[in-house]
Amino acid sequence: MILITGGLGFIGTHTARALLDLGESVVLVQRRAPEVPAPLAGEGEGRLVVERADITDRAALLALGDRHKITGIVHLAGSMPWPVGAHEPVEGVEKSVASLLNVFHAATEWQVSRLGLASTIGVYGGVEAPSPLAEDLPLTMSAGHPIPTFKKIGELMAGHLAETAGLEVVNLRIGAIWGPLGHARSPFFLLPQLVHAAVQGAVQGAVQGAAPDPTSPAWGAHAGDGGDLCYVKDCGRAIALLQTAERLRHRTYNVATGRMTTNGEVAAAIRRAVPGADVELREGRDPAGPGRDLCLDVTRLREDTGFEPAYDTGSGIADYVSWLRAGNAR
């Protein structure tokens, strides 16, 4: 069985679905009271197990290995003191590092075949290189946000423990992910806000009336801005393929589409999926934005797993709109 921390979350649910579709059985670990989402309902007995445990509690996490034969781990649960202010600073860092170390303890005690460790596209912040960005680019020692800060820490720890403890650890540098079960607004890109607003019939007011977020590259709603936007079902399948591949030649993989998607392309796809939607964007690019395309090189992912996205912008938005219209908007 493959254990997924954060297994009932946004990416976790779709990763679990993809693993089940590949014939694997999964144990999903969630800190809060579990509620199995619709994409995972109706699985046969023993293929899907949901456990409630706090991964900062090492004993509780290790006890899962007494109840299940766990052969692999995908660690997607939050491992950074975020949101800022949720904990006293030192305590927050302590919890973050402890949870990550507990997962490594579990991996070594259970002798799992592979540990997939969620990282982020944000680790490339400050890298002065043209897109697409490849995994072997040297990263900066600083980060402008807590998420990439702690993901860099995790990657460094993973490298050390992979060598010293004999673990196969795979860093998953996940791009901008969107789709069913995701938040209606992202602080990093505009797509979810536009789709939700279109379904609610108020795109123009939602964009023009939104409070500007100066930390977001989507601020300003310019048609020429965008990024490497990956539909969550593709993201889950990519992670599942990396977790189950017979052999991987690298420790770090970008999980993304490998192409730039602009807000203008998103708007056009929304108009096709929601006829009459009035999506108003500013022309060109935000002068306060990064001023360059940002996408990830997914050559390693393709070569080692055969992954190709099943959804382009148009088909992904159509699928997402159908899901929201089925009563899943929040």
Q: Is residue 193 part of a domain?
A: yes
Q: What is the mean pLDDT of residues 258-275?
A: 94
Is-contact 155 252, C-beta < 8 A?
yes
Q: Is residue 237 part of a domain?
A: yes
Class of residue 24 by CB neighbours under 10 A (exposed 0-12, middle 13-18, buried 19+): middle
From residue 321, how far is each of 179, 200, 296 by CA, in Å? 9, 10, 26
pLDDT single digits (tens) 197-247: 899 884 444 444 444 343 444 445 789 988 999 999 999 999 999 999 999
Q: Is residue 303 part of a domain?
A: no
Residue 266 pLDDT more than 60? yes
Report the candidate in 189, 174, 52, 46 with the shortest Cα–Cα distance to residue 119: 174
| 328 confidence band (pLDDT: 50, 70, 90) | confident
Q: What is the mean pLDDT of residues 150-158?
A: 93
Q: Which CATH number does the domain housing residue 241 bear? A: 3.40.50.720
From residue 101, how far is each of 79, 87, 95, 108, 156 by CA, in Å? 10, 19, 10, 11, 12
Q: Is residue 300 part of a domain?
A: no
Which of 82-86, 193-197, 305-309, 326-330 is least confident?
82-86
Please give the mean pLDDT across all residues of the chain: 88
Report the C-alpha gap between 28 and 74 in whole angstroms: 10
pTM strictly above 0.75:
yes
Range of the domain at 265: 180-228+259-294+310-328
Q: Which CATH number does the domain housing residue 210 bear? A: 3.90.25
Q: Is residue 87 part of a domain?
A: yes
Q: Is residue 305 part of a domain?
A: no
| 143 confidence band (pLDDT: 50, 70, 90) | confident
- The percent helix, strand, coil of the chain (3-state, each to 5) is 40, 15, 45
Q: Is residue 304 part of a domain?
A: no
Residue 75 pLDDT more than 80? yes
For residue 58 the two structure tokens come to: 């090492």
pLDDT single digits (tens) 97-112: 889 999 999 999 999 9
Q: 227: number of CA atoms within 13 Å, CB side?
A: 23
Residue matched to tokens 């897109």: 131
Residues 208 and 277 in one domain: yes
Tally of domains within the chain: 2
Report the C-alpha gap between 174 and 238 in whole angstroms: 10
